[in-house]
A and B are shown apart, each in its own frame.
Chain A
C-alpha cells in the first residue's frame, strides 16, 4: 500500500503537526512501510467476528452525579505556558 504526498499533507493537518516539504519524502517511505505491514490483516477471515474493545468485555462504569473534584485552578495554571487573570492565553482567534 502506498500513501501519497497529498494524503500525508492532509493527515498532518488533521493531526495538527506541521510537516515541512523536505520531511514528506521520508514519511512517504516510512508510513508506506508501516501500512504494508498492516496490510497483512486483509488475509484474515473476520466476517463473523465482533470487534474487541476491552479484553474482559468490561463496560464503562457510571458514578453518582456528584461534585467530587476540588478546584485546583491555581495549581493547574502554574504549569501552563501563558496565563492571565486565571485564563489560558492563546494567539488572537477573532479579528
Chain B
C-alpha cells in the first residue's frame, strides 16, 4: 500500500478497498518504524490524524468525497497549522502553536486530506542540506548502505526524504531559491515550484517574501497535479497572490508532446556539471525527442549573476521579515532579561541558529545607510536582467530543461565549513525564483546509485504544461518508481 500514488490510493478509497483509517494507520506505523533512520518528521500528529481519518471515512460513506478525502499527507513545518506546533525548524519557534491555519493548510483540510505531521526543514527555510535544522539533520534514504549518511537537500529535506522513503505519499514544500527542486532531485522524487503568486503565502512563515512560493512534492507528476489543484488560487489574505483562474491540472496530463519546443540553456551545461550528471540529463532529453519534442540550445546570459543577486535580495528581505521575532509576543524569550535591549538581542542570539543569524546580518548590512543603492537596488536591477533572459527564451521555446543540481546528494558535513560552498549548490535553481517562473524537478536517472533530477522550467502560469511534460516522461521511464534500499 505504501508504494501507491495518491491517485491510486484515491481510487481504492473510492471503491471501498481500503478505508482512510487503515491507510492512516499504515503510514503512521511506517513513520514510527522507519523515521529514526531519516529524522524527516519534527512532529507526528497521530491522534488528530486518526480522528480526521474517521471523519473522512464518514464523508466518503455519505458521498461527499473529493479526490483527497482520507488521503494521508504531511506539511512542511513552515505552514501554520491551527493547534499543532509549527517550528519552522527553529529553536525560536520550538513551542509555537499557531492560533490559525495557513491558507494552504485550510485548503487541504477543506479537501478532507489527513495530515500526519510536520516535516523537518532547514531553519526558516535557509539551507540546501537540511543540516541547519534545530531538530537535527535529515538523512537521505538513498546511499545509506554505503555507510556515509548523505544529505536530502534543503530546505524541504524532510518532505523529500519522507516521500522517497514511502513514509507518506505526498508532502507540501516551499521554494525560495531551490528548496523544493533541489531536495526533490537529491531524493529522487517529483517536485513543483509554481509561478510566484500562484499559491497563497498566508500563514507560510516568511523568509524572502518576493521569492517564497509554496509548492508540491510527491513521487509522480500526476500526484503533484492533484496537490496543485488543492493549493493554487487567489487569496485576498496574501497581498501578492494573483487573481487568475485555476485550471484542473490533471485534465491535460495526457496531452501528446509532439511539437513541444525544448530549450537547453547553455549556461546550465557548463563545467560546474559533472560529465556523468550531464549524460543522464541528455539521455532524458533524448526521451523527449522520441516523444516528438524538438530541441535547441538557448542562452540565459545573466544567469551567472543569479546567486550574487539572490544573496542580497533574500537576506535583505529575511532581515526585515525575521525582525518580528522579538521575544515579546510569541516564540523564544531569553532568561532574566535585564532591559528591553537585552531581551531583544539575547532572545534573538539564543533563538536563531548560525546560518539564520548570518543572513540577517548580511541583509541588515545590505539595507543599511550608505549601502542600499550598491547592494539592494543593484540586485533588483540585475534581477530584471535575469527575468528578461527568461522572457526572451520563452519567445523561442515552450520549456527549458537542465539538470536540477550540479551533482548528486553529498555527504553530511561536507559543505558546512563555508556558507558560500553551500550556496553554490543552488546554481541552477535560483534564477527561476528571481524571475518568478514555475519549474519542476523530475527523477531522470542515477549516478553512483544516487538520483539525478531533470529541471523543467516554464513560462509564467505554465504549470499545466510542465506537469504534462513530466507526466508523459513518467509514462516511458520508471526512475520515479525506484525505491531506496
Q: Name the one of B368, B419, B436 contacting A56, with C-beta atoms under 8 angstroms.
A: B436
Q: Is the CB of A90 within 8 A of B435?
A: no
Chain B contacts for A35, CB-based, 8 A: 362, 365
Q: Are the C-beta atoms of A34 and B358 separated by less than 8 Å?
A: yes
CB distance from A41 to the nearest CB of B (A): 5
When the two chains form their complex, are residues B240 and A58 in contact, meaning their CB atoms are under 8 A apart?
Answer: yes
Give the residue of B97, B337, B384 whose beta carbon is less than 8 angstroms from that of A49. B384
For B, the interface residue count at a CB cutoff of 8 angstroms equals 71
Query: Is B144 engaged at the interface, CB distance under 8 Å to the other chain?
Result: no
Contact indicator B361/A17 (Cβ below 8 Å): yes
0/1 interface trace, chain A 9-20, chain B, CB 8 Å (1 if under): 011111111110
Q: Which residue of A lies closest to B304 (CB)?
A: A40
Measured in the bound complex, the distance between the Cα atoms of B381 and A53 in whole Å is 9
How many Å lie between the Cα of A35 and that of B99 in the bound state?
A: 39
| Complex interface: stretch among B116-124, B151-159, B372-380, B467-475 | B372-380
Where the two chains meet, the residues of B that have a C-beta atom closer than 8 Å to any C-beta of A are 96-99, 195-197, 210, 236, 239-240, 242, 302, 304-305, 307-309, 311-312, 319, 323, 326-333, 337-346, 348-349, 352, 357-358, 360-362, 364-366, 368, 375, 377-385, 387, 418-420, 423, 435-437, 460
Across the interface, do B308 and A40 meet the contact criterion of CB distance under 8 Å?
Answer: yes
A58 to B382, CA, bound (A): 19
Enumerate 10 A-B pairs (CB-CB under 8 Å) in ascending A order. A15-B360, A15-B364, A30-B418, A33-B418, A34-B420, A38-B366, A40-B308, A41-B375, A44-B302, A91-B338
Interface bits A62-95 vs B (CB < 8 Å: 1, else 0): 0100000000100110111110000010111100
Complex Cα spacing A11 to B195, Å: 34
> Is A54 in contact with B365, judged by CB distance below 8 angstroms?
no
**Cβ contact of B348, chosen from A3, A16, A46, A92, cutoff 8 A:** A16
B328 with A88: CB separation less than 8 A: yes
Contact B197 A58, beta carbon cutoff 8 Å: yes
State whether A46 and B460 are in contact (beta carbons under 8 Å apart), knowing that A15-B319, A31-B362 are contacts in the complex: no
Number of A interface residues in the complex (CB < 8 A): 54
Check A58/B384 contact, CB under 8 A, given A16-B344, A31-B361, A44-B302: no
> Is A52 in contact with B420, judged by CB distance below 8 angstroms?
no
Interface residues of A in 1-49 (CB under 8 A from B): 3, 7-8, 10-19, 27, 30-31, 33-44, 46, 49
Q: Which of A16, A72, A78, A80 contacts B323 (CB 8 A)?
A: A16
Apart from A17-B348, A17-B357, what are 15 other A-B pairs with CB-CB below 8 Å?
A14-B364, A15-B319, A16-B344, A30-B358, A30-B419, A31-B365, A33-B418, A37-B420, A38-B312, A38-B366, A38-B375, A76-B329, A79-B330, A91-B338, A92-B339
CB closest chain-B residue, reference A68 = B236
With A31-B361, A34-B358, A79-B99 in contact, do A41 and B328 touch (Cβ < 8 Å)?
Answer: no
Task: Check A40 against B305 for contact (C-beta < 8 Å).
Answer: yes
In the complex, the chain A residue whose C-beta lies closest to that of B313 is A52
Q: When the two chains form their complex, are residues A90 and B343 in contact, meaning their CB atoms are under 8 A apart?
A: yes
Residues of B near A7 (CB, < 8 A) are: 365
Neighbouring B residues of A30 by C-beta, 8 Å: 358, 418-419
Which residues on the A side are within 8 Å of B361 (C-beta)?
8, 11-12, 15, 17, 27, 31
Q: Which residue of B lies closest to A83 (CB)?
A: B329
CB < 8 Å: which of A33, A76, A91 contacts B420?
A33
B305 and A60 within 8 A (CB)? no
Q: How far is the CB of B98 from chain A (nearest CB, A)?
A: 8
Across the interface, which residues of B come within 8 angstroms of A92, CB to CB? 339
Assess whether A63 is in contact with B236, with CB atoms less than 8 Å apart.
yes
- Distance in Å from the Cβ of B453 to the closest Cβ of chain A? 23
Please tell me if the beta carbons of B240 and A31 are within 8 angstroms of each other in the complex: no
CB distance from A76 to the nearest CB of B (A): 6
Give the contacting residue for B382; candidates A16, A44, A93; CB below 8 A. Answer: A44
Contact A88 B418 (CB under 8 A): no
Please measure, in the bound complex, the distance between the C-alpha atom of A18 and the C-alpha atom of B333, giving whole angstroms: 14
Neighbouring A residues of B385 by C-beta, 8 Å: 44, 46, 49
B460 touches A18 (CB 8 A): no
Chain A residues with CB below 8 A from B364, complex form: 11, 14-15
B459 CB, nearest partner CB in chain A, Å:
12
* Beta-carbon contact of A60 and B239 below 8 Å: yes
Residues in A neighbouring B352, C-beta threshold 8 A:
17
Residue of B nearest to A7 (CB): B365
> If the complex has contacts A19-B349, A75-B99, are A41 and B242 also in contact, measured as CB distance less than 8 A?
no
Complex Cα–Cα for A16 and B419 (A): 22
Question: Are B327 and A38 neighbours in the complex by a CB distance under 8 Å?
Answer: no
Query: Which of these, A15, A72, A81, contacts B327 with CB under 8 Å?
Result: A81
